[in-house]
Structure 1
Amino acid sequence: MNEAALRILVVDDDKAMRSSLVDLLEAAGHEAEALSRADQVAEKLPEMVPDVILSDVRMPGMSGLELLATLPPEAPPLVLISAHGDIATAVQAMQDGAYSFVEKPYEPRRLLTILSHAGAQHRLHQRTERLKARLRDLSGLDKLFLGQSAAARAVREEVLSLSESPASVLLVGETGTGKDVLARALHDLGPHAEGPFVAFNCATLTPEGFEREMFGAEGGPQGKLAAADGGTLFLDEVCACPLPVQAMLLRVLEQREITPVGSSRPRRLAFRVISATNEDPEAAVEAGQLRLDFLHRLNTMSLSLPTLRERRDDILLLFTHFCGEFARIYELEVPEPSAEDLAALMSHGWPGNVRELRNVAERFVLRMRRGQASVAAALRADHLDDVPDTLREAVAVFEREVIGRALRAHEGRMDAVAEALGIGRRTLNEKIVKLGLNKDALL
């Protein structure tokens, strides 16, 4: 049976009508079975596992409306069909949970369209529920780097393999593919997980301020390299690092020794180096943008991250996860994506990768209260359209922005961030958890 074909259970006491409906459904490529009584449905459901139930309304014994009342929440949608239909019956059926109501004599094309839409929606709902269950069972690296595609599984296996090694690792991938997440995972899964994880953006370094910022000063603040002692040093955007700074970093990585500004005593350091770039490092070397000896020092081991375009099987899983995350943050019901939403998710090119998908999920959740919760609208929305309707949602959006800006401004130093925001360290930690902020991704 092809993917578009449905399993449809027909319930009608009229033998000729049952036969006619089954012939119509099978001619359309669906799989159909028929019952003469509604009280036989409960026994048939686990055996057939239909996508849709098509039932007459008036039958001896149990009626179609009574059948609707007995179906469990996870049952497939019920489409009612009757020669005695009227407005009141149709309204009552829809209010009670029927998917649709069709009058006899029916128009075959319209009936097939209704059944196709009902079955597709049921399959999408089942798939979403399976993904939610899978997300509840995830832990550790599975939850950090979500995905069930072969590409996602290969990345997790490689991270697990590399985590125990002290060798330098270079992460290569487009913006938004999760390099910062995997850098942190390599640290957390490694032997120095209890040590510090110090990250900085190489593009922001200048030759003039390098020594004071990286080495620190005698009697002054500790430099970033000393802060990484005993842990992991994460160098982001290494291809954007100025060439003079590359030379300075190379010496430190080779000697693992620094001398703070104003001091004559060198200090030995021990840390693992993880670096990342969204550019082709070989091409950067050829262009004179990256020193070859610096690259060799960084890429003892290299890990390429797949784009979201290369792991399309993970898109719905990730979207479901992010919708749940933002629904919790904004204290809203988790919106159920429609078949149209799924089509929009799968047809989009995702140039911003997982980061873009996460932003779309946030807009999707925020628009739900206005009845505009569609992926298509979230994809084309500008930020002015994303202002929440309620004060609680607006406060959450504002807090996410202000705390994120403070974390970047103070490079993740939590005491400094709390002081700048005028709140206690504990309150800051609680807000970061509640708002779902990824500190490493912000830095």
Structure 2
Amino acid sequence: MPNSTKNLNHRVIVIDDDKEMRQSLIYLLSAAGWEVEALAETSMIENKVAAFLPDVILSDVRMPNSSGLDLLSEKSNVAQLPIVLISAHGDIPTAVQAMRDGAYSFLEKPFDPQRLLTVLRNAAEKNRLSKDAERLRKQLATLSGLDRVLLGKSEMLQSVRESVLDFSSADAAALILGETGTGKELVARALHNLSDRANGPFLAINCATIEAEGFEKRVFGEAGQSQGLFRQAEGGTLFLDEIGTCTLDVQAKLLRAIELREILPVGADKPITVNVRIVSASNEPLDQAINDGRFRSDLYFRLNNVVIDLPTLRSRKDDIPLLFEHFLQNYAELYETQIPEVTTEDMAILITHEWPGNVRELRNVAERLVLASRRGAGSVSEALRVQNDMGDVPETLREAVAAFERTLIAKAIRNHKGKMDAVAEALGIGRRTLNEKIVKLNLNKSDLLD
């Protein structure tokens, strides 16, 4: 999708009691590509600004019930906008006073149309740059939040952080790949929060939780009843989690919406243009799903303009001490208790664990340990044992089955010392099926036997 957010028309509110002048200004500005709202006086300006969100205000100075100069002294969001004043009674003292009071510019009637357009454009662009700079300051102030979301010193994590920062400025569709619990939605939110769409909505949907027959209404909306997620996310980001669970029929409808940048609500006669960045995620390699005939290759190539692969926790075990300490501090603050002591033996237990639930599972163990320590009991091994008994409960049946299969196969490979025929026999499946599952579940035999 092109970055249409950068090319949105500028918005202006025109205030002039002279109807003929007001209509003339509306025609001039509209012809130049501006979005225009007009008022005959300043009394309703607050409501109009709140609803229309203009980039600049163009106001006459002298009107029967108010003055454009009064706008400059407003202690509100109106005075925060650039205000361009025009007057048929202009004089040097008035102009000087207006500029001192904060007016962006002062023009005398009759004015040159091109000069007016230039002044307004410069004022609007300055206002948008000011907003962008403020948003950037907020981003920089919270940039450490990205470090907290993707906490770790491993090269893999550093690469992911760099990818998020690089790709956030792009408006192309992004695909996030990673096992359950690796933080796919957190990365999607980071891509949104660091993008030009940060002021727009971020909406997330887990595709696996929506029945195929209800998907169209939920995502595209229904004429005269509901907007649907695409329209609700207008100007922002729509995150499609577990995209691989969509049926082929749903995939075809998503492909059309992404390709044409328009949707057809259920029961509607005409399509509606949408301006949304699509970020999707999957906990399985979609190329395997394509080979199995479960996923459309044309949709895959529309979704993967940008690809971010999230590493598993077991592939970056050096990060476990840092992550665990971070989670302990957070939960100790949350539950208003002391941070539990973690011994060398405790840390060894954590590092040797396989972590099928990844960072989410590690966080759950940390929380369990903090809660136990409040009662003067608990240990890492006990917290981990409870975790294993309960499982890192996945959000969907597909995730639950994948997590169970991953744990079972990994255990069998270790028990049979990597002899795959014996592993297949113990599991009661064929060797080919075993190989396919190892690839699908992203298991590494050498890692399991280290």
Given the two structures, how large is their TM-score scaled by the length of structure 2? 0.53
Identity %: 53
The letter of the residue matching 2:247 is P
Aligned with residue 310 of structure 1, among 301, 315, 329: 315
Name stretches of at least 5 consecutive residues in structure 2 with no aligned partner: 1-141, 396-450
Aligned partner of 1:159 in structure 2 is 164
Q: Say if 1:335 and 1:373, in contact at 8 Å, map to a contact too.
A: no
1:341 is matched with 346
Task: Find the residue that maps to 1:141 and give its secondary structure.
Answer: helix
Partner of 1:321: 326
Task: Report what 1:226 is aligned to.
Answer: 231
Query: Which residue of the partner structure matches residue 293 of structure 2?
Result: 288
Native 8 Å contact 1:203 1:242 kept in 2: no
Which residue matches 2:359? 354
1:201 matched residue in structure 2: 206
Is the contact between residue 180 and residue 283 of structure 2 (CA under 8 Å) also seen in structure 1? yes
* Preserved CA contact (<8 Å) 2:240 2:280: yes
The aligned amino acid for 1:363 is R
Hey, what does 1:368 align to over in structure 2?
A: 373
Distance 2:267 2:296 in 1: 29
Quote the Cα distance in structure 2 between the aligned partners of 1:334 and 1:372. 13
Displacement, 1:246?
Answer: 0.6
Instruction: Kindly report structure 1 stretches of 4+ aligned residues shifted beyond 4 Å.
Output: 382-385
Secondary structure in 2 aligned to 1:170? strand
**Equivalence map 1:6-17=2 (5 Å):** none
Q: 2:146 aligns with which of 134, 141, 146?
A: 141
Aligned to 2:255: 250
- Contact 2:198–2:236 (Cα < 8 Å) also in 1: yes
Match 2:176 to one of 159, 171, 179? 171
Q: Does residue 1:188 correspond to 2:231, yes or no?
A: no
Residue 445 of structure 2: aligned partner: none
Contact 2:365–2:387 (Cα < 8 Å) also in 1: no
> Could you tell me how far apart the structure 1 residues matched to 2:271 and 2:248 are?
24
Partner of 2:415: none
Task: Find the counterpart in structure 1 of residue 10 from structure 2.
Answer: none
Residue of structure 2 equivalent to 1:214: 219
Match of 2:272 among 243, 267, 272: 267
Which residue type is aligned with residue 280 of structure 2? S
SS in 2 for 1:341: helix
Quick one: which amino acid aligns to residue 280 of structure 1?
P
Q: Counterpart amino acid of 1:166?
A: D
Deviation of the 1:186 alpha carbon = 0.4
Task: Supply the distance in 1 between the matched residues of 2:274 and 2:196 (Cα, whole angstroms).
Answer: 16
Give distance in 2, aligned partners of 1:315 and 1:207.
39
SS at match of 2:239: strand
Q: What is the aligned partner in structure 2 of residue 18 from structure 1?
A: none
Unmatched segments (≥5 aa) in structure 1: 1-136, 386-403, 405-443
1:300 aligns with 2:305: yes
Is the alpha carbon distance of 1:234 and 1:340 closer, same or farther for their aligned partners in structure 2, counting shifts above 3 Å?
A: same
Distance (Å, rounded) in 1 between the aligned partners of 2:233 and 2:291: 31
Q: Which amino acid aligns with 2:348?
A: A
Q: Secondary structure at the match of 2:226?
A: coil
Alignment of 1:233-244 (within 5 A): 233-244=238-249
Q: If the length of structure 1 is used for normalisation, what is the TM-score? A: 0.54
Q: CA deviation at 1:227?
A: 0.8
Write the distance in 1 (CA, Å) between the matches of 2:221 and 2:295: 26
CA–CA distance in structure 2, aligned partners of residues 141 and 244 of structure 1: 36
Which stretch shifts more, 199-208 or 175-184? 199-208
Cα distance in 2, alignment partners of residues 231 and 288 from structure 1: 32
Q: Deviation of residue 256 (structure 1)?
A: 1.2
Query: Structure 2 counterpart of 1:302, which letter?
Result: V
Q: How many residues align?
A: 252
SS at match of 1:260: coil
Q: Distance in 1 between matches of 2:177 and 2:265?
A: 32
After superposition, what is the alpha-carbon deviation per residue over 1:50-101, rounded to whole angstroms, capped at 9, x for unaligned?
xxxxxxxxxxxxxxxxxxxxxxxxxxxxxxxxxxxxxxxxxxxxxxxxxxxx
**By how many angstroms is 1:215 displaced?**
1.9
Q: By how many angstroms is 1:265 displaced?
A: 3.6
